[in-house]
Amino acid sequence: MTRANDTMFDLVVTNAVLPDGRDRMTIACRDGRIASVERDLRAEAQRTIDAKGELVSPPFVDAHFHMDSALTYGMPRVNRSGTLLEGIQLWAELKPSLTHDAIRDRALELCRWAVARGTLIIRSHVDVCDPNLKAVKALLEVRELVRNEIDLQLVAFPQDGYLRWPEAERTLAAALDMGVDVVGGIPHFERTMADGAASIERLCRIAAERHLLVDMHCDESDDPLSRHIEVLARETVRQGLHGRVTASHLTAMHSMDNYYVSKLMPLMREAGITAVANPLINITLQGRHDTYPKRRGMNVAHMGLHVGHMTGDAEMRAMFDCVTVNGARALHRDGYGLAAGCWADLVLLQAGSVIDAIRLRPARLAVIRRGRVIAETPGVRPVVTLAGKTEEVTFRPRSA
Ligand SMILES: [Zn+2]
């Protein structure tokens, strides 16, 4: 065993398995940062957590959320067709009745749930198509209220179309002036393909001038001819935004022909575009106009692994990276990871590996932010009587 220097740590997590498979690891934290990651390190600390051979991960990253519409299911009514277009219509019906306090309180509740699940970095789009920017003001307040627990990044999102909604140019600029972090867009919802392309050009120019990141809803459609992603790639290169642009949803790609995609993918790579294959929503929204076979949108890690045929060992590990390190990279978050010098942001899961973390969607035994425990969940071990034996169930194969 090695021994750390004599200085007391704030928090030490012992006997942890790391996402790369290293086991018996000790993570020592001081002043909000990871000071040391070593096998079997013995160290004095204000608080010690024995991970008992369970997985410790950096926090989960939700790279695409809409916190202004969180927890509004059924308001003012349920989406009958299940389509994106009815969803946008429903949101337009709800918008006039929203209040600052209601948006803030629902978002805070959602943040509470996120902390409990170890999701400590969230990028949320916020609708700027409102003359009073009610949601923007509410979410800026939320960003400040949760800053010690969650890194909340906001995207100025012109839900009703940057060119289609008459005041969007003014309100989007005002939102950025107020401190919204990222420039959004929705080219496939503009009236024409030409308007969609024009909106991308103008929004990328705003981002370039203000030195901001870009994250556009792009081609969230089943239409294989919705090709705004190629325009976004071109503008990224033309306006010098390499590595700073994200394209969200991109579901039209499931319907594009192979030849076109073989041209498109190198364009995206050249521009360093991040693709956010989107949350649960696209498995629900896509293919609503199809008979059979029905196309499907892409999804979060557990389901995406199955839906996307990502079942090889390396592919499952890559999927865990998608909801951790890749998300942090896309959001340009510094100090993320499990090395000395990184933020002391950790999630202890009741799982022995990253593959089990996806398979079991396990309890988050402890969630740590800047070296401080901000959520704890007791582990769950059902006790089952079967074939004359009563035993605790771990949901893991027993070693022989
Ligand atoms: Zn979205």
- Look at strands 372-376 and 364-369 and give their pairing: antiparallel
Is 70 exceeded by the pLDDT of residue 187? Answer: yes
* Of 172, 201, 199, the residue nearest 186 (C-alpha): 199
Q: Phi-psi category of 250—alpha, beta or left, where left has phi over 0 and alpha has psi -120 to 50?
A: left
Q: How many residues does the chain have?
A: 400
Q: What is the pLDDT of residue 138?
A: 98
Going by pLDDT thresholds of 50, 70 and 90, the confidence category of residue 395 is confident
CA of 217 to the centre of ligand 1 (A): 6
Least confident residue range of 94-98, 101-105, 203-207: 94-98
CA of 125 to the centre of ligand 1 (A): 7
First vs last C-alpha separation in the chain: 29
Going by pLDDT thresholds of 50, 70 and 90, the confidence category of residue 2 is low
pTM, rounded to two decimals: 0.92
pLDDT of 137-150, one tens digit each?
999 999 999 999 99
Is 70 exceeded by the pLDDT of residue 4? Answer: no
CA of 356 to the centre of ligand 1 (A): 28
* Residue 77, CA distances (Å) to 94, 98, 182, 300 in order: 9, 14, 31, 26
Do 350 and 17 contact (CB within 8 A), yes or no?
Answer: no
Q: In terms of CATH, what superfamily is 9-58+335-384? A: Urease, subunit C, domain 1 (2.30.40.10)
Least confident residue range of 188-197, 291-300, 317-326: 291-300
Does the domain at 60-330 match CATH 2.20.25.650? Answer given as: no
Do 305 and 311 contact (CB within 8 A), yes or no?
Answer: yes
The proportion of the chain whose per-residue pLDDT surpasses 70, expressed as a percent, equals 96
* 230 catalytic residue (yes or no): no
CA of 64 to the centre of ligand 1 (A): 6
Domain residue spans of the chain: 9-58+335-384, 60-330
pLDDT of 54-74, one tens digit each?
999 999 999 999 999 999 988
**CA-CA distance, 57 to 41, in Å (whole number)?**
18
pLDDT of 82-92, one tens digit each?
888 898 899 99
Structure tokens at 284: 């629900």
**CA-CA distance, 333 to 152, in Å (whole number)?**
11
Q: What is the pLDDT of residue 285?
A: 79
Q: What is the pLDDT of residue 15?
A: 97
Going by pLDDT thresholds of 50, 70 and 90, the confidence category of residue 196 is very high
Is 90 exceeded by the pLDDT of residue 5? Answer: no
Is 90 exceeded by the pLDDT of residue 295? Answer: no
Q: Where are the beta strands (DSSP E) in 205-290?
A: 213-218, 245-249, 274-276
Residue 158: asked if its preceding bond is cis (omega within 30°), the reply is: no
CA of 118 to the centre of ligand 1 (A): 21
The residue type of 32 is G
**CA-CA distance, 330 to 321, in Å (whole number)?**
12
User: What average pLDDT score do residues 85-106 get?
Assistant: 92
Is 80 exceeded by the pLDDT of residue 297? Answer: no
**CA-CA distance, 352 to 92, in Å (whole number)?**
45
CA of 6 to the centre of ligand 1 (A): 49
CA of 159 to the centre of ligand 1 (A): 9
Is 80 exceeded by the pLDDT of residue 253? Answer: yes
Going by pLDDT thresholds of 50, 70 and 90, the confidence category of residue 296 is low
Q: What is the pLDDT of residue 279?
A: 55
Q: What is the pLDDT of residue 3?
A: 53
CA of 240 to the centre of ligand 1 (A): 25
User: What average pLDDT score do residues 44-48 get?
Assistant: 96
Report the run of H or E that residue 307 belongs to, with start and end: helix 301-307
Q: What is the pLDDT of residue 331?
A: 96
Is 90 exceeded by the pLDDT of residue 29? Answer: yes
CA of 91 to the centre of ligand 1 (A): 13
Catalytic residue among 54, 149, 220, 235: 220
Is 80 exceeded by the pLDDT of residue 299? Answer: no
